[in-house]
Amino acid sequence: MKIMGNWLRIFGLAVIWVLAISIGWAEEGAQKIAELGECRLASGKVVLDCKVGYRTFGVMNADGSNVVVMPSWLNGRSDELIPFFGEMESGHRLVDTSRFFGVAFDAFGDGVSSSPSNSKRQHGPEFPAFTMEDMVRAQYRVLTEVLHVRHVHAAVGLSMGGEQVFAWAVLYPKFLDMAVPIVGTPQVTSFDLLSKQILIEAIESDPGYMGGRYVTEPELKLANAIGTLIVSAPQYRNAEVPKERFAEWMKLVESPQRQDANDRMWQAKAIMHHDVLHGRTIEEVARGLPVKFLVIVAAEDRMVTPQPALEWAKAVGAETYISAGNCAHLIMNCDADAVSSRVERFLAR
């Protein structure tokens, strides 16, 4: 009986060990929500019942020096960032999780983190306007209060995620070592403002939007078409969609997106107000930062003008890559290998 009891204990421990491993695997990249109570915004307003979605990949080392954060892009969520993390080499991986502990964040207004669509006490138009810096401050709280991170190796982000990376570097320059903004900008230009203003007006003028107090999600066909128009260069679209397939493709372009209309509006307005310079010049802000930069832009980008990011790179003497791919802002669609290899080399330093 004693022998049988020992075997049962050994077997039980083995089962527990296997379950622990299984749970760990299941949690790799799983959606998590950090409850932060209240999040005070730069405007002085407060997000009530503030929450931030995040996913983790890999293992944090003993001294916590291998953390890499990645915020989500415009109208995107952290689940779309999963392919950029992994242990196996690929043509699109940005963060090697055999070396780094990755944290992917859901930005405010994506329907997972606090947003007009999911707030019970500040629903729809009652939700306060937020900025890129507000997003980053909330993410910082998740790292320090929930994950107990004391330092970040790098922040990496694409598009609006890249704009959050610039905010990370300016808000917390001693908290992170490296920054990799990809098709992002430290400050929107007039052309950037034009495209976002047209998008916002397309949403506001949709009969189903009703000032943001809709019950049924509006179709937003025009807004969807405008978004598709500005994210790539003409050569890319012409090659992807033959003329004879235009009508079929247009139906897909105009079809409803998963993002709530108010969420899209709030994020678009956050981009319109994006400016980490706050009245100073790029040289004044960038040169005083201890953060090392790798700046990646797309030469044909119509969504985010590359010039401010290139000026930033020049001011700090940063490594720069200018993608000539005709998919433009959709840089990972046709130039992923070049982007991936440069980011991974940079992070490994």
Mean per-residue pLDDT, 170-178: 98
Question: Angle at the Cα of 162 (from 238 to 333), degrees rounded to 5?
Answer: 30
Hey, where are the domains in the chain? 1-30, 34-191+267-347
Which residue of the set 153, 301, 335, 340 is catalytic? 301
CATH architecture of the domain with residue range 34-191+267-347:
3-Layer(aba) Sandwich (3.40)
Q: Report pLDDT digits (tens) over 269-297.
A: 999 999 999 999 999 999 989 999 999 99
Mean per-residue pLDDT, 170-194: 98
Tokens 């138009």 correspond to what residue?
125
Task: Please return the burial class of 162, using the count of CB atoms within 10 Å of its CB with bins 0-12, 13-18 and 19+.
Answer: buried
Q: Report pLDDT digits (tens) over 5-14.
A: 433 333 333 3
- What are 260's two structure tokens? 């709530």
Q: How far apart are CA 191 and CA 18, in angstroms?
A: 55
What pLDDT shows up at residue 1?
Answer: 38
**Is residue 123 annotated as part of the catalytic site, yes or no?**
no
Which residue of the set 159, 195, 232, 340 is catalytic? 159
**Is residue 159 annotated as part of the catalytic site, yes or no?**
yes
pLDDT > 60? residue 106: yes
- What are 92's two structure tokens? 């699109």
In order, the DSSP letters of 173-197 are: TTTEEEEEEES--SB--HHHHHHHH
Q: How far apart are CA 249 and CA 21, in angstroms?
A: 45
- What are 37's two structure tokens? 């109570």
Which residue of the set 323, 329, 335, 340 is catalytic? 329
What pLDDT shows up at residue 14?
Answer: 36
